[in-house]
Copies of this chain bind each other. A is one copy, B any other.
């Protein structure tokens, strides 16, 4: 191979900034981006912020109040410095009388930033914990675009879980696909080192990069919103599928990756799938058009066996397997969740909680003490006359083991006064529920007295039943 004398262009430096926006505070979050992050990162070509980075993700109907036109975001980024980077960020957008979950690329243009491309999320997840379609409108356009640093494409979160959008961007000439995301943590299998959804993000980003020979950057939101936790864990991936950088878990932070066009050429020489796809595309489109109409599915038959086999040792066992959990990671996330919700978001230093002597409240107590320190946790034993002495004793054991502040408040007088006045013939079931509710009343009152937030101790079965004691 001869040296052709063409100078190699400098690599592109992309910085992914995983942020924890203040809820619904568009101006405040824009100010942090403008005055802190863009100043702290003097040497990037493109700086990327997550999905919904100006407001947080879970806003439900609130999106109508915080969605802004893209020009307002451009103005909020202020005046670009002399070597300012392009800025890519996700935000709820007000556009043509509708609301979109959008990502825009802003380029410095004299004294201002100008949006050179806006992509509006087409796939609005509305299942499981998601209900985007209730509050936003789906985009209907997808294309790559040219920037001063080359041709690229942008996607929002769920769109990467489908393989077709990234395929379209690659066919459209994108050499870099930037994904803004807000991916709630779920499933913590042992040995993974992170949650299952982040492991899946690795597979999606690496699969896309390898299939098309493109760079992929995934910028993840951080923080807890409405009980869901966004872990961060942004990644940058090279066109051969190698991980170029990985953001921290559960904290704001940034990763930078240098991307050279030469790596794309090398990856595509090794694996020319994209060129092969271009060649075969007209035929595939014919098949896709036919499949898309659903016509051939009129004769659809459902998957079913002939029923002639007898189950053998090789048969998969029935039932859903329960994988081993990564308890250390789960604990870390829960502790961080308590700190975030109690201290940072609500400005309290301590919590109060009931300690029954059972498992749920013991776990809550341990987590609270680890998160806030024993001096900031007050555990209340609230026995009723007929409570078992063992429960009281067990509660005492966990309280002294954790070193939390321990208080005991007898609720017998209050409960019995109600019974005497209202219904002396009340059943045992009603008496039990009454006692539980008086304990709740007591906790909220002590919360006000001590200036400490009440910490719930319900478990998931109770949550499913909608009934906590």
Q: Which residues of A contact B (CB under 8 A)?
A: 9-13, 43-45, 83, 122-123, 125, 127-128, 138, 140-144, 146-152, 161-165, 167-169, 171-173, 175-176, 200, 203-204, 206-207, 210-211, 215, 242, 244-245, 255-261, 264, 269-273, 276-278, 280-285, 287-292, 294, 296-297, 299-312, 314-316, 321
- Count the copies: 2
**Given the complex, which residues of B lie within 8 Å of A316, measured CB to CB?**
244-245, 257-258
Q: Which residue of B lies closest to A11 (CB)?
A: B305
Q: Which residue of B lies closest to A122 (CB)?
A: B280
Name the contact of A215 in the complex, choosing from B44, B125, B303 (C-beta under 8 A): B303
Q: Which residue of B lies closest to A292 (CB)?
A: B281
CB distance from A173 to the nearest CB of B (A): 4
Name the contact of A309 in the complex, choosing from B43, B127, B161 (C-beta under 8 A): B43
Q: A150-B301, A151-B301, A207-B207 are in contact. Are A284 and B142 (CB under 8 A)?
A: yes
Q: Which of A142, A150, A282, A291 has the most CB of B within 10 A?
A: A291
CB distance from A170 to the nearest CB of B (A): 8
Known: A43-B312, A44-B309, A150-B304. 11 other contacts (CB 8 A): A10-B305, A127-B269, A127-B272, A149-B303, A149-B306, A167-B288, A171-B291, A200-B210, A258-B305, A258-B315, A285-B292
Q: Which residue of B lies closest to A269 (CB)?
A: B127
Q: Which residue of B lies closest to A123 (CB)?
A: B276
Can you report 6 residue pairs joining A to B where beta carbons are below 8 Å apart? A144-B296, A151-B302, A152-B303, A168-B288, A173-B291, A256-B312
CB distance from A37 to the nearest CB of B (A): 15
State in angstroms the CA–CA spacing of A168 and B272 once bound together: 21
**Given the complex, which residues of B lie within 8 Å of A303, measured CB to CB?**
12, 149-152, 175-176, 215, 259-261, 264
Q: Is the CB of A163 within 8 A of B161?
A: no
**Given the complex, which residues of B lie within 8 Å of A244, measured CB to CB?**
316
Q: Is the CB of A302 within 8 A of B175?
A: yes
CB distance from A246 to the nearest CB of B (A): 12
Q: Is the CB of B291 within 8 A of A149?
A: no
Q: What 3 A-B pairs are tightest by C-beta distance, nearest first? A: A43-B309, A163-B163, A9-B304
Q: Is the CB of B204 within 8 A of A273?
A: no
State in angstroms the CA–CA spacing of A223 and B165 once bound together: 38
Q: A173-B300, A303-B175, A315-B258 are in contact. Are A285 and B288 (CB under 8 A)?
A: yes
**Given the complex, which residues of B lie within 8 Å of A162, measured CB to CB?**
211, 273, 276-277
Q: Which of A164, A244, A270 has the most CB of B within 10 A?
A: A164
State in angstroms the CA–CA spacing of A12 and B314 once bound together: 14
Q: A127-B272, A288-B168 are in contact. Are A138 and B305 (CB under 8 A)?
A: no
**Given the complex, which residues of B lie within 8 Å of A207, measured CB to CB?**
163, 203-204, 207
Q: A163-B211, A244-B316 are in contact. Are A306 and B10 (CB under 8 A)?
A: yes
Q: Which residue of B lies closest to A283 (CB)?
A: B140
Q: A284-B142, A287-B142 are in contact. Are A302 and B261 (CB under 8 A)?
A: yes
Q: A127-B272, A150-B301, A315-B258 are in contact. Are A138 and B280 (CB under 8 A)?
A: yes
Q: Is the CB of A146 within 8 A of B280?
A: no
CB distance from A406 to the nearest CB of B (A): 43
State in angstroms the CA–CA spacing of A281 and B148 once bound together: 31
